[in-house]
Amino acid sequence: METRLLGLTAPGFHISTVPIKIKPSEFHEDFSIWKFRPEVDLQSIYSILLLIEEPTEGAWLEYMDGDKKRLKQWEYGTFHMFRGSMRHRIASYYTKLGEHRITLQCHYFHDKVDNVNWVYF
């Protein structure tokens, strides 16, 4: 099996380094790859996150479980992976002076035809 990262932006760091209050954005799915590769099986798309540094209150994901909103706390130093079809958004948070919220975020799908793993941002 081969793994490729070609023609797409490299996985990215999301960094908050100043005192800031983040309000939640709209819920979304991670299907942006469809703009470039409409043949991709939506069920093969996953989102991946690694929490590198968190503010005092922690780092959270808000997601929909049926018609209910739920929170998932990111665990420091752990890769978290969830289906791209899960409706989600960053949960609101606040960083104090001297605190940071740093995550590495990327997406993945498996191309069954060519037996290739793709990682993209």
Tens of pLDDT, residue by residue over 41-76, are: 999 999 999 999 888 888 889 999 999 999 999 888
* Contact between 5 and 48 (Cβ < 8 Å): no
pLDDT > 80? residue 110: yes
Tens of pLDDT, residue by residue over 14-41, are: 777 766 666 667 888 998 888 888 899 9
pLDDT range class, residue 113, cuts 50, 70, 90: confident
Do the bridges between strand 2-4 and strand 116-120 make them parallel or antiparallel, or are there none, so unpaired?
Answer: parallel
Beta bridge partners of 19: none
Tell me which of 4 and 22 has the higher pLDDT.
22
Specify the CATH number for 14-120; select among 2.60.40, 3.40.50, 2.60.120, 1.10.150: 2.60.120
pLDDT > 90? residue 121: no
The rounded distance, in Å, linking the Cα atoms of 108 and 102 is 20
Instruction: Output the pLDDT for position 65.
Output: 95
Domain residue limits, the chain? 14-120
